[in-house]
Structures are given as structure tokens and as C-alpha cells.
Amino acid sequence: MTSIFAPVRVGRYSLPNRLVMAPMTRSRAAFDGTPGELAADYYSQRAGLGLVVTEGTQPSDDGQGYLTTPGIYTPAHVAGWRKITSVVHEKGGHIFIQLMHVGRMSHPDNTPHHRQGVAPSAIAPGTGMFTAAGMQDIPTPRALTTEEVRQTVTDFRHAARSAIEAGADGIEIHGANAYLVQQFFAPSANTRTDEYGGSIENRARFAIEVLTAIAAEIGTDRTAVRLSPGTAMWGIDEGPEGPDLYRYLVAELDKLGLAYVHIMHQGNEALLADIRKLWRQPLILNRPGRPRDQIGADVASGLADLEAYGQMVLANPDFVVRLKTNAAMNEADPKTFYGGAAKGYIDYPVLSAKGDTSS
Ligand SMILES: Cc1cc2nc3c(=O)[nH]c(=O)nc-3n(C[C@H](O)[C@H](O)[C@H](O)COP(=O)(O)O)c2cc1C
């Protein structure tokens, strides 16, 4: 049985344990997308996990949807991220930047150019979004032209190069949670008639092109992807072909030899088992709301190579130490998840040498 604390090889890196910080948007960047000053502390506090995956980070102006999320496509973004990657490395950690293009999950009030959101098709997600003026309905997006889809692939490639310039160990493409990549998968969001819509092959094409382009730019062993097969929120319905789309997609991406696939599991165990068989590189598994006593079970059973945790890591900078010593965990405070400053960000208490908590 493999221990969650056993070292593991991911891409070109040797990680000291199999615990991963799941990507979490914290909305504390500057309005120009430069990461906030406290982000270096936040990530370095959590560098004891084998791998840190950052918050979703937009690859372009069009890719932003929420207020004050960071970007990685301008020199200021690169300089901001460099401060973060260098302190994580000083602590012996590894950090992949998650590249997140929101597609239609966007409000013009939140973006730098205040333009209409872009998506595979002009179909609104049917939900609201927080803006500086409070909650507002998300407007109907504009459908990308075929040429613009190709330009978006190029934007991703540029962002991946920028992430490496900023010192990141790699990038994870956000292909989950109803954002642009998954919008292409779902017939409810993608009614295109060009080569990016219709058949399973066509709906998977955008993801495959993005990952192929990035792998060519920065290396397959620094390129990874997150998927959430079966996500049904914000108007995403992958339909009866959904599981087959993922079988096809994972088999195609496997040919690239990427650093890892990161599955945010939505409950289809048979599909998860198939993905495990189809994928020869490391698999990171995130089971939302996984209880503490189950941590390590998927690595022990061989279903996953690494396990990712979100809220528990957000609230416990010394997550690995607490697990090893069987210490109590702090509870995450949802009121401070998005926006604000130090509170609920860099002030969660850590265990002292004596085992009690101190901040
Ligand atoms: C505050 C917050 C922000 C999140 N932002 C992202 C994100 O930017 N990208 C992403 O892929 N998932 C995001 N997630 C989902 C987490 O990565 C994770 O899948 C989810 O929290 C379930 O795991 P957990 O129960 O261990 O927290 C976010 C979750 C939380 C709590």
C-alpha cells in the first residue's frame, strides 16, 4: 500500500509527498490582475504540500470573469507571480499555476475591458455573479469565431510561457467547473457547427489543441489538466455522451504524456475507474468534502497517485504536519474566501512546536 506521505515523481519533479493544494480563487489581486502583496505569504505557508496548485489565473482580458482574480499575461503579472514562486521554492515547495479562462462565466463590470463575455455559443449560463454593484445576472455571451477560438489557444500558450518566466514549475489547464474548456464539451453550451462543435471529437478539440500547444511551448512534463466529468451547474449539461467524451479526451491527452490529470470527482465511479486505466501518467484525485479519516485512502487503494484538498488546506497552512501528528484541523471560514485582505487568508493558526495553536 502506498502512503500519502511517500514521495512521487510528477512530470520532471520529485515531490516529497502526495498531498496537493487544490486550486482556489481568493480574489485578492490588484485590478490590473497583478497578484496581491499577501499572496506570497499565503502560498509559502502551504509549501509543505507536495504540490501547490494556484487559484484560477486568467490567460487574457477575455479570460477574466470574477473581480480581482490574477492574470498571467503581462510583465506586471510575471513580476508579481515571480515573488510567489520564489518563496515557495525557498521553502522546498513546487507550484503549478492554474490557467482559467471563464468563457461565458463573466460579467463586463468585472473585466479590464468591460466587454461582453465570450463562449463557444451565444447561450447565457442562467445564473448571477458578484460584481462591485452586487449580484447581477450574467449576460448572454458572444460566440467566438473559428479564428478567435484559434487565437484563444494562442493566448493560453502565451500565458503558459509567462508562467514559466515567472518561475512556476508548470501549469494546470482548468478544464473543469463549467468554465470555457468545459463549455466546449457540453452540448447545452456548445451548438457550434464548425470543427469545435457537434461530434465528441469536435467538442474535445479545443481542450486538446490548448494542451498540445502548451506542451509544445513549455514541455509535456510541465503541462497538466483538471477535469470534472459530469459537472452539472451553471447550465452545463454534457448529455448522455458525456462519459464517452471523457474516455476519448483522456485517451487523446494520454498520448501527449502530460505531467498529470487532476480529476475533481463528481460521483461516476465507473468513469473514474476507466480514466485511471486510460491514463498512464500521475492522477490527482479531489473528492469534494472528503472527510479527514479518508485522506490517503485513494492513494492506498491505487485509484490515485496524489490527492488534492481545498478547504482543509485553505484553513490549515500546516496541513501535512497536522495529518502526520493527528492534530485537530482549523475550520475554514467561507465569509473570507473571496476578497478582503489578511483575515482568513494568511492568519489561520499553525501548531506550535508543543502541538498547540499559535498564529
Ligand atoms: C474558495 C474556493 C475557491 C475555489 N476556486 C477554484 C478555482 O479557482 N479553480 C478550481 O479548479 N477549483 C476551485 N475550487 C474548487 C476546489 O479546488 C476543490 O475542488 C473544492 O473545494 C472541493 O475540494 P475540498 O472539499 O477539499 O475543498 C474552489 C474552491 C473553494 C472553496
> What does the DSSP assignment read for 234-275?
TT----TTHHHHHHHHHHHHHTTT-SEEEEE--S-HHHHHHH
Among the residue ranges 88-92, 254-258, 344-348, 353-357, the one predicted with the least confidence is: 353-357
Question: Do residues 146 and 214 lie in contact, with contact meaning Cβ atoms separated by under 8 Å?
Answer: no
Nearest ligand 1 atom to the CA of 337 is: 1
Which of 240, 253, 127 lies closest to 187, judged by CA?
240
SS3 content of the chain, % helix, strand, coil (to 5): 35, 20, 50
Ligand 1 pocket mutation pick from 19, 25, 101, 284 by most atoms within 8 angstroms of CB:
25
Which of 48, 42, 111 lies closest to 341, judged by CA?
42
54 touches ligand 1 (CB under 6 Å): no
Share of the chain above pLDDT 90, in %: 97
Could you list the active site residues?
Answer: 179
pTM strictly above 0.95: yes
pLDDT tens, position by position, 58-92: 999 999 999 999 999 999 999 999 999 999 999 99
Find the mean pLDDT for residues 163-183: 98
pLDDT tens, position by position, 33-54: 999 999 999 999 999 999 999 9
Q: Ligand 1 mean position to 310 CA, how many Å?
A: 5
Looking at ligand 1, which residue's alpha carbon is closest to its atom 31? Answer: 311
User: In terms of CATH architecture, what is 8-358?
Assistant: Alpha-Beta Barrel (3.20)
